[in-house]
């Protein structure tokens, strides 16, 4: 079987595309995770703010230590 340079370039091109797509997916997933983390922290903050008396007690404990 003879070496076919066109076959090799097609394979390397598809590998480059696949790698580029994989990197884009990694960035996209990192962005999604950051958004989810932000939403989770906002939800937690909203839950804590529903009980400001607990926050003031905790703050007093920290200051008295």
- pLDDT score for 21: 97
Per-residue 3-state assignment (H helix, E strand, C coil) for the chain: CCCCHHHHHHHHHHHHHHHHHHHHHHHHHHHHHHHHHHHHHHHHHHHHHCCHHHHHHHHHHHHHC
Q: Is the pTM of this model over 0.75?
A: no
Q: pLDDT (tens digit, 9 = 90+) per residue, 2-17?
A: 555 555 566 788 999 9
Domain count, the chain: 1
Tell me what the pLDDT averaged over the chain comes to: 81
Range of the domain at 16: 5-64
**Banded pLDDT at 45 (limits 50, 70, 90):** confident
**Banded pLDDT at 51 (limits 50, 70, 90):** low
């Amino acid at each position: 079987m003879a070496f076919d340079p066109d076959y090799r370039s097609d394979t390397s091109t598809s590998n480059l595309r696949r790698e580029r797509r994989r990197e884009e997916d990694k960035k996209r997933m990192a962005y999604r995770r950051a958004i989810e983390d932000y939403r989770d922290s906002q939800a937690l903050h909203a839950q804590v703010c529903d009980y400001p008396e607990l926050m003031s007690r905790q703050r007093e404990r920290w200051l008295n230590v």
